[in-house]
Structure 1
Amino acid sequence: MKLEDLKTIDQLEDFLSGTQAVAFSVLSDKDACYRWIQGELVKFRYLQLSRSGKGVVIRYLMKVSGYSRPQLTRLIAQYRKTGQVKRRQRTMAGFKRRYTEKDIRLLAAMDERHDTPCGPAVKKLCERACEVFGQAEYIALASICVSHVYNLRKSTTYTRQRRHFEKTRPKPSKIGERRKPQPEGRPGYIRIDTVHQGDLDQQKGVYHINAVDEVTQFEVVCSVEKISERYLIPALEQMLEAFPFVILGFHSDNGSEYINKRVAALLEKLRIEFTKSRSRQSNDNALAESKNGAVVRKYYGYSHIPQRWAPLINDFNQQYLNPYINFHRPCFFPITRTDGKGKQRKIYRYENLMTPYDKLKSLPCAQDSLKPGINFEILDKHAYQISDNQAADRLQKARQILFKTIHGRTMKTG
């Protein structure tokens, strides 16, 4: 059976249900398909059918024509209104191009000779070329909108003649909160910074990682060969473990050695608050930077130390330098005074000169801040096992041996 043999609604229902085999093919020509739809609507007297009958006809037309139901609904509405289904073919004239390929090539040449100035500067140059120097070919570009200059620079004609590459713009990192830490008199909020031990013949030197607690000035120095993840993460773990109290905050500058996902994951695992310095606020990390000069540079100087000596230097830090600066080296602890105008001044009194360990013991919440398994009885053994002078002598002797091993000579005490 063919489509021409279908003449009743019952036959259409059998065809749609698949019980009646009918040979047909979808028309590819739109005009022929429109004429066929009109003929079927006339043959089945669509306008006189009941609602269910109209639904059967629509499903039949959808299956044979391949058109969607909304499209057939529009065609049937046209048939109901005019009595025919006719294809309305429109030819759009489109927009007339204001700037031709010649104008775009002139723009590319202008950018080439002037090293790609900004849009307003290009427009002004085109105006001057047309009005001042009488170059009529720039008359269209002289009236161009500034924003449209950038559109023309993206066109195919422009890029075929000239390509312009912009420098990659830095993307602000979302790692860490940009603010000043607020310890509120509690130990555990450390400031951290990196000190580089010089270059020699394009060879990098040792890197010192210096961490200082803001309240107690308890300080831990670690030395590594490089500041890549392979060396930095183990050093940070060792450093955080060396503090006797629980670390609550970690503050650094905006260097990429700390502002990265690995460091952030380590601090998140330990539930440590991660903050970073604010723009144009040099005091945010000033404590660590001042300790860089007062401790690290004082004991290691500025000369180049090859990276291979980093493990030996780090052992010296853990055995001699860190115990000395925390248990035997007095520091000033300032008092902040605010005058009537709101200006703050720091006052350094002699009675507030003490070692970081003594400062830790003087805090009212000191015992609660210590790590589990650590108490002041254990720390007192380290603090008072030898005198300050003996600790300094040990440090200087070990320092002389260290530099003699590195440089093959004795280092003068600075």
Structure 2
Amino acid sequence: MNKPGYIRIDTVHQGDQDGIKGVYHINAVDEVTQYEVVLSCERICEQFLIPILTEMLETFPFNISGFHADNGSEYINHKVAELLNKLNIELTKSRSRHSNDNALAESKNASVVRKIFGYSHIEQHWADKLNSFNREHLNPFLNYHRPCYFPTTLTDDKGKERKQYHYDKMMTPYEKLKSLDQSEDYLKDALSFELLDKEAYKVSDNQAADQMNLAKKRLFKQINEQKKA
């Protein structure tokens, strides 16, 4: 399959402390392009989760055809199914005791979400400010400025497949999307690569990283100052 629009989704919890629940991060990754959207959610319940999932689906520049989640009840429920049915998106779930079914999202949890937000407790009420950071800095950086490995699959004489990862094959998710055959056809109706290029190339990769790190530093300064108060 070389068509974008099949996303893997998972949840990362930002810990509990003294009985106080931490914020949740929802991480969605496209299987083909590794296009990624991270948003934070105050609580895992219909009131907070459905608006976040709706925004995530709207944020991807291409139409979503499939939505794969683990067996968590936050995704496998009637309200989520109703949302996806309305958009003609197929819902699939990981098989019991087959954690590698959602390996792509779980690997991004470690390499992206934990790397950015760490493991320390962050209270739920920070979700809105975290999302301002996600929308303005993290998600644009991940998709326009952070290269990913895209494996080459080799098949031996016995039919066994193995993947090779080459440095010269690294691309950003946006570059990968543009490299697909008939890539323009996958974009949502209101979008074009001409429009997306303006967003993707308005700053360099280094500038985007610097801006994201500065915004992260300011955000965590606020969070840590409140903890000390």
For 1:199, give the aligned amino acid: D
Equivalence for 1:219: 36
Verify: 1:208 aligned to 2:25, yes or no. Answer: yes
1:347 and 1:397 map into 2 onto residues whose CA distance is 35
**Corresponding residue SS for 2:162:** strand
Once the two structures are superposed, residues 223-282 of structure 1 have per-residue CA deviations (whole angstroms, 9 ceiling, x without a partner) of 011010000000000000000001111000000000000000000000001111123433
| Aligned structure 1 segments of 4 or more residues deviating by more than 4 angstroms | none
Equivalence for 1:193: 10
Once the two structures are superposed, residues 9-51 of structure 1 have per-residue CA deviations (whole angstroms, 9 ceiling, x without a partner) of xxxxxxxxxxxxxxxxxxxxxxxxxxxxxxxxxxxxxxxxxxx
Please, which of 167, 170, 191 is the counterpart of residue 353 of structure 1? Answer: 170
Equivalence for 2:127: 310
1:245 and 1:311 map into 2 onto residues whose CA distance is 25
Verify: 1:344 aligned to 2:161, yes or no. Answer: yes
1:219 and 1:408 map into 2 onto residues whose CA distance is 30
Equivalence for 1:388: 205
**Corresponding residue SS for 1:202:** coil
**1:342 Cα deviation (Å)?**
3.0
**1:338 Cα deviation (Å)?**
2.0
Equivalence for 1:401: 218
**TM-score normalised by the chain length of structure 2:** 0.97
**1:392 Cα deviation (Å)?**
0.4
Check conservation: 1:191, 1:251, Cα contact below 8 A.
Answer: yes
2:155 and 2:96 map into 1 onto residues whose CA distance is 24
**Corresponding residue SS for 2:127:** helix
Gaps in structure 2 of 5+ consecutive residues: none
Q: 1:11-410 counterparts in 2 under 5 A?
A: 184-408=1-225
State the identity as a percent.
65
1:381 and 1:407 map into 2 onto residues whose CA distance is 35
2:207 and 2:39 map into 1 onto residues whose CA distance is 23
For 1:255, give the aligned amino acid: G
**1:340 Cα deviation (Å)?**
2.3
For 2:155, give the aligned amino acid: T
2:225 and 2:161 map into 1 onto residues whose CA distance is 49
**1:210 Cα deviation (Å)?**
0.1
**1:288 Cα deviation (Å)?**
0.2
**Corresponding residue SS for 2:219:** helix
Moved more, 346-355 or 188-197: 346-355
Gaps in structure 1 of 5+ consecutive residues: 1-183, 410-414
For 1:261, give the aligned amino acid: H
Once the two structures are superposed, residues 37-85 of structure 1 have per-residue CA deviations (whole angstroms, 9 ceiling, x without a partner) of xxxxxxxxxxxxxxxxxxxxxxxxxxxxxxxxxxxxxxxxxxxxxxxxx
For 2:96, give the aligned amino acid: S
For 1:304, give the aligned amino acid: H
1:193 and 1:337 map into 2 onto residues whose CA distance is 29
**Corresponding residue SS for 1:199:** coil
2:110 and 2:3 map into 1 onto residues whose CA distance is 25
Once the two structures are superposed, residues 371-394 of structure 1 have per-residue CA deviations (whole angstroms, 9 ceiling, x without a partner) of 011000000001110000000000
Moved more, 388-397 or 271-280: 271-280
**Corresponding residue SS for 1:275:** strand
1:282 and 1:266 map into 2 onto residues whose CA distance is 25
Check conservation: 1:186, 1:365, Cα contact below 8 A.
Answer: no
262 and 291 in structure 1: CA distance in 2 versus 1, 3 angstrom threshold = same
Mark the structure with the bigger radius of gyration.
Answer: 1
Aligned length: 226
For 2:53, give the aligned amino acid: L
2:91 and 2:186 map into 1 onto residues whose CA distance is 19
Check conservation: 2:71, 2:96, Cα contact below 8 A.
Answer: no
**Corresponding residue SS for 2:40:** strand
1:279 and 1:194 map into 2 onto residues whose CA distance is 17
For 2:47, give the aligned amino acid: R
Check conservation: 1:224, 1:310, Cα contact below 8 A.
Answer: yes
Check conservation: 2:37, 2:59, Cα contact below 8 A.
Answer: yes
For 1:238, give the aligned amino acid: E
**Corresponding residue SS for 1:329:** coil
**1:343 Cα deviation (Å)?**
2.4
